[in-house]
Structure 1
Amino acid sequence: MSTSSSLVKKRIEKMEPGSVFGYARFQKDKIEESALAMTLSRLSKEGKIMRIAKGKYYKPELSRFGPLRPKESAIIEALTTKNGQRIGYLTGIPVYNKLGLTSQVSNTLEIATNKPLPSKEVQGYRVKYQQRTVPIRDQDISLLQLLDAIKDIKNIPDSSPDQVLPVVFKQIKNLKPQEQQRLAKLALNYNAATRALLGAIFQKVGINVMLDQLSKSLNKLTRYNIGVSEQVLPDKRNWNIL
Structure 2
Amino acid sequence: MNSYAKYIETVIEQEPENKLLEASILYQKSFGTVPEMTYYKTLERMSKQGSLVHLTKGLYYRPKKSRFGTIPISEKEIIGHYTNNGRGIVIGYRLYNQKGLTTQISKRVEVLSSAVTEQKKNIQNVCVTNSGIDLTQETIPVIETMEILQNYKSIEDIRKSALAAYMREFATEYSDTAAVFVLKNRKYKKSTIAFLERFLNYLGVENTLHQFLSALSSYAIPEMEEFYEPARA
User: TM range, normalised to the smaller chain?
Assistant: 0.7 to 0.9
Segment of structure 1 superposing worse, 103-112 or 149-158: 103-112
Q: Does 1:215 align with 2:213?
A: no
Specify the SS of the correspondent of 1:138.
coil
Most deviating of 201-210 and 71-80? 71-80
Q: Indicate which of 77, 84, 88 corresponds to 1:74.
A: 77
Q: 1:41 aligns with which of 40, 44, 50?
A: 44
Q: Which runs of 5+ in 2 are unaligned?
A: none
Letter in 2 for 1:202: L
**Could you say which residue in structure 2 is the equivalent of 1:183?**
179
Runs of 4+ displaced beyond 4 Å: 77-81, 111-117, 127-130
Aligned to 2:133: 136
Question: What is the Cα deviation at residue 153 of structure 1?
Answer: 1.3
2:183 aligned partner, one-letter code: A
Q: What letter is aligned with 1:169? A: R
Name the Cα RMSD after superposition.
3.3
Tell which deviates more after alignment, 72-81 or 48-57.
72-81
3-state SS of 2:5 partner: helix
Report if the CA contact (8 A) 1:56-1:78 is conserved: no
Aligned to 2:30: 28
**In the alignment, which of 196, 199, 202 is matched to residue 197 of structure 2?**
199
Matched with 1:168 is 167
CA contact (8 A) 2:202 2:224 kept: no
Cα distance, 1:108 vs. partner?
Answer: 0.9
Does 2:149 correspond to 1:146?
no
Task: Give the counterpart letter for 2:30 in structure 1.
Answer: K
Structure 2 distance, partners of 1:37, 1:9, is 12
Q: Give the TM-score normalised by structure 1.
A: 0.73
- Secondary structure at 1:14's aligned position in 2? coil
Q: Is the 8 A contact 2:90 2:111 kept in 1?
A: yes
Give the share of equivalent positions with the same residue, in percent: 24
Secondary structure in 1 aligned to 2:54? strand
TM-score of the two chains, using structure 2 as the length reference: 0.75
Unaligned runs of 5+ in 1: 236-242
Alignment correspondent of 1:105: 105
Once residues 62 and 223 of structure 2 are traced to their aligned partners in structure 1, the CA distance between those partners, rounded to angstroms, is 47
Counterpart in the other structure of 1:240: none
Q: CA deviation at 1:38?
A: 1.2
